[in-house]
């Protein structure tokens, strides 16, 4: 009889926490930092939305009913293309992924609202739609071009992950810290720092998931705006190079940034098995080291092969929030982690852009020798030196020199 009573109390407690989680999430739904559904659309249907029904598709972690059940109010959709596109068709492939995200919003206007500002997120939440934002996952997607970066911003991209799992000519990725890749830039190169400053000027969030530890520290020092880790966890709990160490967490706190906890088992427990409680441990730990204003949700759904027991898809966010309630998180802390932290960071990025309004766009290209290969042309560069060519300026100087010599001879 006593055992039955204890079980009844336990079940009632669990249900009460979940009911409270749903109540909190009604007005403060989760804004998740990273979801790879667009990659699944490419892999399964070559981005032919006419062949996919996002209400009924059952092979993905994500569909519209699951998003509704999970109280998702904002989602950064990843415009991701693999590293083997680098130096080849990365820009074209990324444009296709940006396009399919826009088409998701066009095909499902009752459910998705493509937005590009913090005010847009608030409007989507108010109208009970999923605020749909675009994050480019990997600096290789801009092909070392500031012009492409600016064009992506104009197409709605609001964060860029500086690397994926490969170095780009101007920044090192996380595999450098495992000695799998050699360091190329020792963090950020000078051009990499220019990319950061141009992102600040535009109002594009700098995302440090997937970068090396040195890159993290370089970017945190250079960026005038808050940065995010869109899908990374706590290194102290799982010593994986994709996670964030304590000293970096403290800098994130100082810089008012955000670490959005990744649900991939291998980054949660450093094992192939994990559960919801293990994920909650990362929330607790980041809160302990960096404060509750530095923690968010970055599930990485549809981008990973293994997710924790209890978090099988995007419908399960309320169960995680219920667990955090059970652990003593307050409503204010949960509202921050769910919604307000990301909006605060985004507003900080937008304000930095406003402050830099008078700053001219950076237009000095990366050195040609840093990108030279058989798959690209060299227009605009002086290939004998690797610098930018100025043929009209050079021709003008030559003409002036000739006129000077001619006039000198006439005077004699």
Domains of the chain: which residue ranges?
17-370, 381-411
pLDDT at 202: 98
Instruction: Provide the H-helix boundaries in 234-340.
Output: 246-254, 265-268, 276-290, 317-326, 331-335
Residue 270: how many CA atoms within 13 Å on its side-chain side? 10
* Letter string b/e over residues 312-349, b meaning 16 or more CB atoms within 10 A of that residue's CB: ebbbbbbbbbbbbbbeebeeebbbbbbbbbbbbbbebb
Is residue 282 among the annotated active site residues?
A: no
Residue 98: CB partners within 8 Å, gap ≥ 6?
79, 134, 136, 152, 155, 156, 157
Q: Torsions phi, psi of 182, nearest 5?
A: -75, 145
- What pTM does this model have? 0.91
User: Can you give the pLDDT at residue 188?
Assistant: 98
Task: Tokens for 344, please give them.
Answer: 């605060």
Report whether 327 contacts 314 (CB < 8 A): no
Annotated catalytic residue: which of 111, 137, 207, 213? 137
Is 164 among the catalytic positions? yes
Give the Å distances, CA to CA, from 175 to 54, 143, 250, 258.
Answer: 35, 20, 23, 22
* Residue written as token pair 């600096």: 139
CA-based nearest residue to 81, from 161, 136, 119, 152: 136
Exactly one of 36, 111, 172, 293 is catalytic; which is it?
36
At residue 24, the pLDDT reads 98
| Helix (H) and strand (E) counts in the chain | 16, 11
The one catalytic residue among 140, 164, 240, 282: 164
Q: Quick check: 256 and 300 in contact, CB under 8 A?
A: no
410 is catalytic: no
Q: What is the mean pLDDT of each run of 10 residues along the chain (412 residues)?
A: 49 80 98 99 98 98 98 99 97 98 98 98 98 99 98 98 98 98 98 98 98 98 98 98 98 98 98 98 99 98 98 98 98 98 98 97 96 91 69 39 38 40
List the catalytic residue out of 198, 207, 293, 300. Answer: 300
First-to-last CA distance in the chain?
A: 121
Q: Which two tokens stand for residue 266?
A: 């291998």
User: Which uninterrupted H or E stretch holds 205?
Assistant: strand 205-207
Catalytic residue among 61, 231, 240, 282: 231
Helix, strand, coil percentages, rounded to 5, for the chain: 50, 15, 35
Q: Catalytic annotation on 300?
A: yes
Left if phi > 0, otherwise alpha if psi is -120 to 50, otherwise beta: which for 32?
beta
Active site residue 281: no
pLDDT at 57: 98
| 34 is a catalytic site residue | yes
Strands 387-388 and 381-382: antiparallel
Options 1.10.3470.10, 3.90.105.10, 2.40.50.140, 3.20.20.140; CATH for 17-370 is 3.20.20.140
Determine which one of 61, 140, 210, 240 is catalytic.
210
**Chain-centroid distance, C-alpha 24:** 26
Q: Mind giving me the DSSP string for 227-259?
A: -EETT--BTTTS--TTSB-HHHHHHHHHTT-EE
Distances (CA, A) of 88 to 140, 195, 366: 10, 20, 17
């Amino acid at each position: 009889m006593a055992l039955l009573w204890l079980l009844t109390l336990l079940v009632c407690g669990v249900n009460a926490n979940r009911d409270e989680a749903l109540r909190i999430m009604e007005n403060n739904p989760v804004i998740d930092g990273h979801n790879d559904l667009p990659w699944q659309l490419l892999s399964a249907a070559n981005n032919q939305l006419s062949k996919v029904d996002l209400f009924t598709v059952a092979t993905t972690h994500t569909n519209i009913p699951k998003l509704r059940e999970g109280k998702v109010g904002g989602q950064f959709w990843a415009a991701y293309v693999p590293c083997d596109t680098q130096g080849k068709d990365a820009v074209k492939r990324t444009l296709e992924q940006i396009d399919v995200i826009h088409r998701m919003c066009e095909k499902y206007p009752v459910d998705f609202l493509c937005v590009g500002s913090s005010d847009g997120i608030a409007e989507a939440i108010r109208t009970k739609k999923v605020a749909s934002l675009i994050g480019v996952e990997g600096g290789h997607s801009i092909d070392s071009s500031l012009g492409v970066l600016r064009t992506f911003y104009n197409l709605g991209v609001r964060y860029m992950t500086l690397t994926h799992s490969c170095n780009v000519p101007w920044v090192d990725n996380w595999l450098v810290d495992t000695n799998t890749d050699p360091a190329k830039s020792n963090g950020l190169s000078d051009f990499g720092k220019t990319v950061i400053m141009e992102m600040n000027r535009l109002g594009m969030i700098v995302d440090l998931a997937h970068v090396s530890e040195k890159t993290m520290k370089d970017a945190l020092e250079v960026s005038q705006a808050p940065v995010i880790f869109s899908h990374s966890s706590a290194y102290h709990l799982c010593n994986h190079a994709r996670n964030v160490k304590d000293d970096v967490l403290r800098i994130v706190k100082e810089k008012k940034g955000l670490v959005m906890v990744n649900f991939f088992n291998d980054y949660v427990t450093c094992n192939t098995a994990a559960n919801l409680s293990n994920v909650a441990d990362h929330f607790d730990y980041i809160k302990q080291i960096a404060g509750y204003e530095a923690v968010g949700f970055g599930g990485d759904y549809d981008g990973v092969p293994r997710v924790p027991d209890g978090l099988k898809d995007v419908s399960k966010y309320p169960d995680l929030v219920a667990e955090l309630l059970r652990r003593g998180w307050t409503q204010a802390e949960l509202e921050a982690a769910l919604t307000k932290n990301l909006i605060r960071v985004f507003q900080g990025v937008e304000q930095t852009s406003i402050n830099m309004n008078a700053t001219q766009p950076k237009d000095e290209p990366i050195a040609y020798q840093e990108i030279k290969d058989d798959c690209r042309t060299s227009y605009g560069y002086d290939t004998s030196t690797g610098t930018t060519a100025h043929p009209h300026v050079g021709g003008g100087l030559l003409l002036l020199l000739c006129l000077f010599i001619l006039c000198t001879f006439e005077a004699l």
